[in-house]
Structure 1
């Protein structure tokens, strides 16, 4: 069997065929090649392709309730959240951010803060920028013109006039952020595109991309480059298209700004997690994305494990034990589901390890070859422990988990919970 892909060909030998593969198509490699970007500092967290993909979230407490907001931010930080966003819809909310930040710093919490600014947010953004590490603005709402239900089109003159108003409104914020060496997120949302963008490009991913590029170009004209870009939509297919378009557009014009990934309003439970993963993981696998937020209709701190799990599953972060376990079959020699739970309970506090739990000796050793440690059924009531590809010892099943822990300790890779 021979498969041929277009382009200059490189022959790849396999056990059953010879593939002709375009050597420029890096997507066929096992390693993810991230889109090269500059580093944008958000407080003490570097965001960009030379750094780990950062996980962030947003509190749902009222910013004016300062004790509750501080508590919500600390819960997120304790859960591992690396950047926290806070809604700032008014000048009072922006001023409250100063008190929130001070109380956090007094408590030793240094997690970077982002102010989320809403309609006609020039004054709010300027006030909030004094107290946060990054300001997020929505291009569709930053200079908000109420839609005209009778409008049939936008003339070139009207379009240019609106663009000029945006440039004038954005200039003082960019100047302040540049002076203070803080960051700006240009956060496009599919549900709130400006009317003139909808008339020109439709309610489409193309309209989202052009909305972002207008603001990106203004920042670049002012020699301000602490910019992060997001293109969120509640439909995964729209989100995917918008991020790909804006990445291509930025690359074509020489803008190497990082991307913040997320599927907005993903919902809750299994479906919310699956929907978020479908969008975020797809783009990360293509090399796009430098920070992520999983948007769940749940307590914000429950978003953090999902984000880290997505990154670990793609090999982009290593923040927990990676468990490799077969789905079980008729050859399985013990209750694999129960044993996996026991192994996880004993070792889940560790980091940086791959531990395999395999039901039988037939496929287990081969399928777990990349794991640090293996727990494999050898015979009824008996399991064997592996270190990498090497079988170390055979023990009764009743002693298996205890023996696995002992082996990890022997290797000096154990830490107490």
Structure 2
């Protein structure tokens, strides 16, 4: 017969061992992007990217402002040509004149040295893609890369990257080394295959060039459209950085996640496991919708993990046969009345069986204890019982009485 362990008999809390449920974030060096800090213990930063053509000065300024006003802390713009690079000077200036300075990142891709050097004068961070920054002409009959060929291209990369690194270093600006699974350089594909290892080694190659030039204002990303690849790449990157004594912050994202519910679920599936393990200092949710739709998803993921608190946290049971009111309808009414508040936890529970226990951490509780009546709680304490049709109004009055209400 199996012998079960004897439960402890003491009720003294000081004798209990409690598990810390706070996410312990990976320690990273701080990187300044305009007036925003990435890493170094700063809150996880939310980013997005405008869709407008950067040559459209007015449209770009308006798009950047829309994103920033709803909580996007860093905005990225695409810079495919020198004309676009010059346009960023006007965009930056117009933002300062008509709104305020917004941290801007320029996205530079194919053979981008001249573009990057120009745009580095006007933005706070330059994002480069190691797989595209130096063009490697593919050979259809290639079966391998010799070490000499590998080294020759590495030297070309250093020669091309060095002026940009020096410019950003001397200006006190930042760079994102943004590896994409779908655009690895050919020699990385031949050497490591289409794998997370190839993504990581691509990033390490650029990191080591930057470090040799005493440039450390670096953020790393390793994005993929397949969640398992993306998660594996970031985990491997952390392992490799630990081995090399590096502590650069990481920008997380599932690229090309799609749209609608699945796009949001896919992004969450990639971001949440890493963030829960303390990996990640800045995030973007890349969905095929207006950029403004990305920001609420970012904040919802961060709030669910306890990493940022930017809205009311609603605790609500799924409803069952014991529920004494229309839970879905009541939750909607409570949410509409209180969603503008920041930092509160409000529980809406359908019955008394599990309600008080499951809402113990909430600031306020709205519980159905008997037909036609609502019990309102402050924390664990029942404050009053009111008719159901007065429940939402009385909840608001309770919040007001505690001095925690602000008008919408």
Asked if these proteins are the same fold (TM beyond 0.5), I'd say yes
- Per the alignment, residue 146 of structure 2 pairs with 155
1:170 and 1:13, CA in 2 relative to 1: closer, same or farther beyond 3 A?
Answer: farther
Tell me if structure 2 keeps the 8 A contact 1:385–1:394.
Answer: yes
- Per the alignment, residue 355 of structure 2 pairs with 364
Question: 1:140 is paired with a residue of what secondary structure?
Answer: helix
- Per the alignment, residue 12 of structure 2 pairs with none
Match of 2:189 among 198, 201, 204: 198
Question: 1:374 is paired with a residue of what secondary structure?
Answer: strand
Equivalent runs, 1:92-131 vs 2, <5 Å = 92-131=83-122
Task: Measure how far apart 1:295 and its partner are.
Answer: 0.1
Residues 1:283 and 2:274 aligned together: yes
1:217 and 1:279, CA in 2 relative to 1: closer, same or farther beyond 3 A?
Answer: same
- Per the alignment, residue 348 of structure 1 pairs with 339
- Per the alignment, residue 270 of structure 1 pairs with 261
Tell me if structure 1 keeps the 8 A contact 2:65–2:99.
Answer: no
Question: 1:376 is paired with a residue of what secondary structure?
Answer: strand
Tell me if structure 2 keeps the 8 A contact 1:34–1:49.
Answer: no
Tell me if structure 1 keeps the 8 A contact 2:31–2:40.
Answer: no
Tell me if structure 1 keeps the 8 A contact 2:375–2:383.
Answer: yes
Match of 2:176 among 170, 174, 185: 185
Match of 1:34 among 25, 28, 31: 25
Question: 2:48 is paired with a residue of what secondary structure?
Answer: strand
Task: Measure how far apart 1:146 and its partner are.
Answer: 2.3
1:12 and 1:260, CA in 2 relative to 1: closer, same or farther beyond 3 A?
Answer: farther
Equivalent runs, 1:8-19 vs 2, <5 Å = none
- Per the alignment, residue 67 of structure 1 pairs with 58
Residues 1:220 and 2:232 aligned together: no
1:366 and 1:238, CA in 2 relative to 1: closer, same or farther beyond 3 A?
Answer: same
Task: Measure how far apart 1:110 and its partner are.
Answer: 2.1
- Per the alignment, residue 394 of structure 1 pairs with 385
Aligned length: 400
- Aligned counterparts of 2:117 and 2:243: Cα–Cα separation in 1: 31
- Per the alignment, residue 261 of structure 1 pairs with 252
Task: Measure how far apart 1:147 and its partner are.
Answer: 1.6
1:88 and 1:343, CA in 2 relative to 1: closer, same or farther beyond 3 A?
Answer: same
Residues 1:91 and 2:82 aligned together: yes
Tell me if structure 1 keeps the 8 A contact 2:180–2:222.
Answer: yes
1:91 and 1:356, CA in 2 relative to 1: closer, same or farther beyond 3 A?
Answer: same
- Per the alignment, residue 407 of structure 2 pairs with 416
Task: Measure how far apart 1:109 and its partner are.
Answer: 2.6
1:58 and 1:13, CA in 2 relative to 1: closer, same or farther beyond 3 A?
Answer: farther
Consecutive unaligned residues of structure 1, counting only runs of 5 or more, are 4-10, 16-22
- Aligned counterparts of 1:276 and 1:110: Cα–Cα separation in 2: 29
Question: 2:296 is paired with a residue of what secondary structure?
Answer: helix
Tell me if structure 2 keeps the 8 A contact 1:35–1:49.
Answer: no
1:197 and 1:313, CA in 2 relative to 1: closer, same or farther beyond 3 A?
Answer: same
1:234 and 1:367, CA in 2 relative to 1: closer, same or farther beyond 3 A?
Answer: same
TM-score under structure 2 normalisation? 0.96
| Superposed CA offset, 1:68-125 (max 9, x none) | 1111111111121000000001111111001111111111232200000010101111
Residues 1:407 and 2:375 aligned together: no
Question: 1:86 is paired with a residue of what secondary structure?
Answer: strand
- Aligned counterparts of 2:317 and 2:7: Cα–Cα separation in 1: 28
Tell me if structure 2 keeps the 8 A contact 1:39–1:46.
Answer: yes
Match of 1:335 among 326, 341, 349: 326
Q: CA RMSD in A?
A: 1.8
- Per the alignment, residue 366 of structure 2 pairs with 375
Question: 1:37 is paired with a residue of what secondary structure?
Answer: coil
- Aligned counterparts of 1:94 and 1:275: Cα–Cα separation in 2: 33
Question: 2:132 is paired with a residue of what secondary structure?
Answer: coil
Task: Measure how far apart 1:49 and its partner are.
Answer: 4.2
Tell me if structure 1 keeps the 8 A contact 2:108–2:126.
Answer: yes
- Aligned counterparts of 1:243 and 1:146: Cα–Cα separation in 2: 28
- Per the alignment, residue 306 of structure 1 pairs with 297
